[in-house]
Structure formats: C-alpha cells, structure tokens
Amino acid sequence: MSNRWATTAALAFVCALFAAGCGGSNSGAVPQAQGPDLGVPIGLADCTDWKRADVSQRLGTVRELRDFAGGPVGQEPGHGNVLDDKTAYKLFQNYCANFFARGFKLYKLYERAAAFTPPQ
Amino acid sequence: MSGSRRRVPPGKAARRGIVAAALLAALLVAAVASGHIERASYWPNPAPDTSVSPPAGGKVPDPRSLATALLQSPPGQTRVVCQPNSLGKAASSIAHARQHGYDIRPHDHRSLGKQEARDLLQINRELYKDCEFHQIQPAVTASGNNDRVVILPGIYTEPTSRAQPTNDPACAQYKITNDKSQAGAVSYAYQFHCPNDQNLIAVLGRALGPGSDPQPPLLDRHNIPNLGRCIRCNFQIEGSGVSADDVVIDGGRVASGNGPPIGAVKDVGIRADRADGFVLRNLIVRHVNEHAIYVLEAEGFLLDRFKTYYAGEYGVLTFVGDHGLIQNCEAAGSGDAGLYPGSSAEGGEQRPPGTPFRYTQEFRLCDSHHNALGYSGTDSNSVRVDHNNFYDNALGFSTDVFTAAGHPGFPQDSDLIEHNNFYSNNFNPYLPGSDVTPTVPVPVGTGLWIAGGNNNVLRNNRFWNNWRRGSMLFAVPDAFICDNPDNQIPGCDPAETNTSYDNSFHDNVMGIAPGGAHQPNGTDFWWSSWPGTTGNCWFKNTSYRPITSVPPPPGLPNCNNGTDPSLSVGTGYGPAISELLSCLTTIDNPDPNDPNCTWFKTPPKPTP
C-alpha cells in the first residue's frame, strides 16, 4: 500500500462517513468573516463570549480563529488545517447553544473540529 | 517503513528537525489559552549552563533540604517570608500532624515522628528570626543564582502583585508580533519589566539578552535565541510547613478555601520562566484564571510535594521543558487538565542524531482528580508517567496532536505510561451545577486516550470503573492537521498519516480494583483502526472476564503477544470514526445531546 494511496483511501473512508462531504464548495450564504472581535484575546474567548457577541463580532472572531489556527506564519509560512468560515460559525452556534459548553474555549473547539474535518 | 506513515529514524528526524522544528516552531505561538497572547517559545539547550556554579540545567536539580536553609555556607542566600502568625500556625500544624499524620496527597498519608516534629518546629523558629519579607514576590525579586526563598505557614495573597495592572500600557512597548501575525504577544522582556502583569509571582531566571528577539520567530525552535545570562538559575522556593497544606498561595477568592469559586485576580500563580534548575516544594497554589504553576522554557526543574486547586485551565503547565520531574502532587478542579506537559522536549523517535533515547520529563506519585482531564499533553514527547492515580475526572489522561499547529513536536511519540491507576473517571463537569467549568470537550467516563500518537507504551496499569471506556486510541490524519502540501508543519504531510502507529497496551489489569473487586469499565479498549496504521498491539491484558473492545473481538491485534507488530494493520472501524466526527465537529448535529454523540452524558454504570 503506497503512502498516498493509503491516505487517499483513508480520506475516502472518512468522507463516506462525514455527512458534510469532502472537497465540497461552500455553497450558500457563507458568512463574510470580518468585523470586530469579541474584545478578549482569542486564546481566552469562550462560548459565553460568543453568545454575548453580535453577528459582526462573531464573524470577526471566526476570522481571528482562522488566522490563529492556520494563518501564515514564519519566514516560510506553514499552517494548520482550518475550517471554512460557514462551518466554523455553525460549529460555535451549535456547541455554544448548550449550557455545558459555556466555558469551552473557542480555539479548542475550532482546532479539534479542524483536526477531524477533511480539507476543503 | 510501515504502512502510510513516514517513519523517521532519529538521525533523519533531527536533520529534518531544522525544517521540522523550524516550521513547527514557526507555528509555535502558544496555543494554550491565555489572557495574554503568549510569545513563541523554544526548547532550551539541554546542556548544563556552566557559567554558574553549580551548573544550571542538564539534569533534574537536586533539592536542598529545609534544614540547610539555616546554613550560612554557600551556595546561595536564603530569604524568609512570613506572616505575624506563621510560627503559631507552624506549631499548630506540627502538633496536628503528630496526632493525626498529614497528607502528601490523598493516596499518601504519612506520620510525623516526635524528633522530626521537634526539629521542624525548631527550624521554623530559627527561620522566623530571619524573616524579612511578608510578601513572596519581593523576596524572589531580591534573589539571585542559587538563592532560595523559604515561606513560613500562612495564606499569601500578594496584595502588591494583585494591584499591578493587567495589560499595563507601561509595558506595551515590549509586546511583539507573533508568527501568526497576532500583535500583542507578551515577550520575555515584557515579563521582565512587568512581572506581575500576568503573574501573581514571577521567577525570571535570566537577564534580558543582548539583542532583540527575532521577528518573526526563528523557524528552528531548538535553543532559545537572545538568551540572557543566568540571574536566578538554581533557584528554590519552598514552604516550611509539615506539608503543602501549610503554605497557600492564592490568586483569587481566598474565602473559597481549596474549593470553588475561583474568583481569580491573576492569570498565573507562579511562573518560572527560563528558570533553569528551578525547584518548587511544599506549597499550595490555587484560584487563578489559567495556570497555577507555569514553567516555561526551563532546562532542569523539580516540582515536588505541591498541590494545585481550581485553576481555570491547568494546575501545572510545563511548556517546551526538558529535564523536568514532577512528583508527590495533587491537582484538582482544573477546567482543562490537572497536569499538562506541552511539547515536552524530544527524547524519543525524533530525538537529535547520535543521542540516546531518554525521557525528557517524568510525572510520578501524583493524584490528579476532579478535573476535566487528569493529564493532558499536546505533542508531548518522551514523557514517563508512572505510579500516579487519575480518578474522578471526565477523562483521566490524554496525549494528542489536536493543536499541533501551536506546539512543536508533531507527531507525538514515545511516552511510557506504567504502574498508574486510572479509575472512576466519571466526573461530569458538563452537568448544571458542576463546580468545575470545563474549557474543553472530552468523553465523560474514560480512563485514557491517545488522540494521535506513536510508539507509546502503556503497561502494568490498572483501569477500573471507567463507565465509558478504559482506553481509546485513534489517529488524526495529517491532512486534517496540515492541508497545504507545500507549507507544512514539520513532520506533517497531508499525503500521509503520521499518527497512531506502534502503540502497545500490555500487561494492564482491566475492571478489577486493587482489592480484587470486580468493577468493570464500559469497554476495556477502543480503537478507531484508522486505515493503514500499523504496529498497534494489545496483549497480555487481564480481567476477571474476557476483555471487551471496540472493534469487538477479535478486532484488537494481539501481534502474536507483541512479538510481531507487523501483524497489526488498521482497516477502519466505521462506528468509531463516526463517533469522533460527530463529537468533535457536531456541525450537523445542532443538539450535541443527539445520540450520535453521548460524550457529555454520564454513561450508565456497567454491571460486573
């Protein structure tokens, strides 16, 4: 089994399981991630901050998290996997609707989800 | 070469390390949560610094006994911190310990002998005569290399430190832009000039370097650039009481005792930054926003006989540390993990060429309980974890690569986890009314998971009464960590899967408490069997009944009792992978209480 074949097979396997599918386009109304953030350092922002924020602040936060988790860095930029903004927004909306998630750090949710979301 | 994994021999790993550590390093903005944006940090040079005598670092430092604090002979000077009633508290505590004993931790109760008690009281009396400080930070600030600060019994709130502003404009000039283009990261210079902005107590081991910190940060994260000379190396801070219980450092709501609510005023309790040869002993740190004890970029350190209670994130956070020993401790009430060695130095599969395999940190003889996680270590390599108790957490133990972009060391490898007890990790911090506010989603009722890691050995542990599972092992494919084939996290290639290889689980006892009672786990072993992963073996594990597993028997490779790991090849177990996707993304499940993900519900107690 070659490396790439194995990985392709594995990804296909996951894609089959993953309801959102792989490599799909971001059709529909993708939030434009811009605007002010939540007013706290991105590493500290949690679901309580998310729920308190308005849409514009949330979109700004999604943008910040995209940079935090996967933005260009260093002299030879590298980056971690990122979520598309629509997916990230839904992730936070869904998680943060629950009381138990009130203290969840947004970056932890984001990076865990990115670690299990096939690249777009 | 095994499966689809790009196996890396030590030499090659280190050669690649320039690119690897480099790039990874480049990504190394502290991914740990912070009220402040953390600077990019570097693994310290593992060699001893001989500019001071005795040399600093290069090994775990030897602690100096309390009695030697009374000696006038070098090395070092002792500064004593006390409160007006310290001596009375010492006498009372000693008398109580004589009668009832004392606790190093919940599982280590000791008695105090008559002569031992007399000696300890006399030492405290002598120390009290020398007391010149009533707050700890001034004593630390006055200290130099080889010095020590001894704290007499009492509760220390550090009013002067508390009064220092957070995000002080006076130090704004020392904020730097990190490698993710985040402005406002607090540099070492920031800590140096405003030590109590973030921290209740700051131990800064080195002077400022002669130059400026590289901007952007260096790609190779080995060796700290612009490192200043030792000014507080081989520094020891300790309580003088019978146990840690006698000296309390509180960063928040004192009236909470050792419980909640936190009511934090500062983010960090004690910060030991570039403090090579640092020793901390015999005290409690509690009630901070983030980390009770934070050891960063330190070469050689010992944390011994301490307790942490109710830290918003981590009881103990060591980051990019080397030659560290953490022992005889208790950690409870953390929103993330009680104990967290992030990006421990590479001593395993990715160690520098020509160097022997070694464990770069060790955690032993600790009780970590009633946290979201008992222990966690992202990209934490070659850590030895032994003779601990992880209980009453939601998840007892985690090592992972989730936040690899912020941690050097990907892929995680080479931990040795042995002779630990993982039991009754059924604490559900997600329920209304929980006294711990969790900051991270994990599956309630689980003893341990390896969320992307290699060559980890779990042997001779005991797992019981974890209502969901004893242990979990799953891969995190590189493509999900780094998606750009041209610009990679070192060691990460989206065309490959570099995690979940060569882990072994053997000679563990499942579902039987130490006294012999049958207290089963919901399932003993759980494996995602990621397609193409190899060398994962389960053998010689015992129980009072047949071992239970996901995939169901014979789904776990025995590898001919561990003699032939090549017999283990993952083929993908759909239900397991579906669960991971459901619980970690929940993107299409608006209600995380959906049956697709039950992680946040307490599992039913399994019947023997």
3-state secondary structure chain A: CCHHHHHHHHHHHHHHHCCCCCCCCCCCCCCCCCCCCCCCCCCCCEHHHHHHCCHHHHHHHHHHHHHHHHCCCCCCCCCCCCCCHHHHHHHHHHHHCCHHHCCCEHHHHHHHHHCCCCCC
pLDDT, tens only, B61-119: 999 999 999 998 878 999 999 999 999 999 999 999 999 999 999 999 999 999 999 99
Q: Is B482 on the interface with A (CB under 8 A)?
A: yes
A108: nearest CA in chain B?
B440
Which H/E stretch holds residue B331?
strand B322-332
Average confidence score pLDDT of chain A: 69
pLDDT, tens only, B451-464: 989 999 999 999 99
Report helix, strand or coil for B192: helix
B452: nearest CA in chain A?
A115
Reported ipTM exceeds the 0.95 cut: no
Average confidence score pLDDT of chain B: 90
**Tokens standing for residue A13:** 């396997």
**Tokens standing for residue B513:** 């408490």
Q: How far is CA B14 from the centre of its chain?
A: 25
Report pLDDT for B476: 80
* Neighbour tally for B68: CB within 10 Å: 14
Q: B180 pLDDT exceeds 70?
A: no
**Tokens standing for residue B426:** 């059924």
Give the residue with greater pLDDT, B531 vs B3: B531
Residues of A in contact with B214 (CB under 8 A): none
Q: How far is CA A72 from the centre of its chain?
A: 16
Q: Is B485 on the interface with A (CB under 8 A)?
A: no
**Tokens standing for residue B464:** 């019981």
Q: Which amino acid is at B63?
A: P
Between the alpha carbon of residue B361 and those of residues B2, B113, B216, B342, B500, the distances in Å are: 28, 33, 29, 11, 22
Report pLDDT for B39: 86
d(CA B188, CA B9): 34
pLDDT, tens only, B343-356: 999 999 989 999 99
Average pLDDT over residues B318-343: 97
- Whether residue B507 contacts residue B459, with contact meaning beta carbons closer than 8 Å, is answered with yes
Q: Does A10 sit within 8 Å of B497, measured CB to CB?
A: yes
Q: Does B483 sit within 8 Å of A82, measured CB to CB?
A: yes
Shortest distance between the Cα of A82 and any Cα of chain B, in A, equals 8
d(CA B105, CA B98): 17
Tell me what percent of the residues of chain B surpass a pLDDT of 70.
88
Is the sign of the CA dihedral B403, B407, B413, B417 positive or negative?
negative
pLDDT, tens only, B105-156: 999 999 999 999 999 999 999 999 999 999 999 999 999 999 999 999 999 9
- Whether residue A46 contacts residue A102, with contact meaning beta carbons closer than 8 Å, is answered with yes
d(CA B136, CA B81): 6
φ, ψ at A27 (rounded to 5°): -70, 160
Q: Which residues pair with B248 in a beta bridge?
A: B155, B284
Would you say how long chain B is, in residues?
Answer: 608
Confidence of residue B439 (pLDDT cuts 50, 70, 90): very high
Shortest distance between the Cα of B321 and any Cα of chain A, in A, equals 21
Residues of B in contact with A113 (CB under 8 A): 584-587
Q: Does A91 sit within 8 Å of B585, measured CB to CB?
A: yes
First to last CA, chain B: 42
- Whether residue B439 contacts residue B33, with contact meaning beta carbons closer than 8 Å, is answered with yes
Give the residue with greater pLDDT, B411 vs B303: B303
Report pLDDT for B586: 64
Q: Does A1 sit within 8 Å of B4, measured CB to CB?
A: yes
Report pLDDT for B247: 99
Give the residue with greater pLDDT, B205 vs B23: B205
Shortest distance between the Cα of B426 and any Cα of chain A, in A, equals 16
Q: B494 pLDDT exceeds 70?
A: no
CB within 8 Å of B438: residues ≥ 6 apart: A100, A103, A104, B335, B336, B372, B394, B429, B430
Which of B34, B484, B585 is best to mutate for the A interface (most A CBs within 10 A)? B585
Q: Give the Cα-Cα-Cα angle B301, B439, B390 (nearest 5 degrees).
A: 55
Q: Which string of b and e fits A33-58 if b means at least 16 CB within 10 Å? A: bebebbeebbbbbbbebbeebeeebb
Is the sign of the CA dihedral A111, A115, A120, B2 positive or negative?
positive
Confidence of residue A32 (pLDDT cuts 50, 70, 90): very low
pLDDT, tens only, A78-109: 466 788 899 899 999 988 998 889 999 998 89
A12: nearest CA in chain B?
B531
Q: B269 pLDDT exceeds 80?
A: yes
CB within 8 Å of B108: residues ≥ 6 apart: B328, B365, B367
d(CA B584, CA A17): 14
- Whether residue B180 contacts residue B155, with contact meaning beta carbons closer than 8 Å, is answered with no
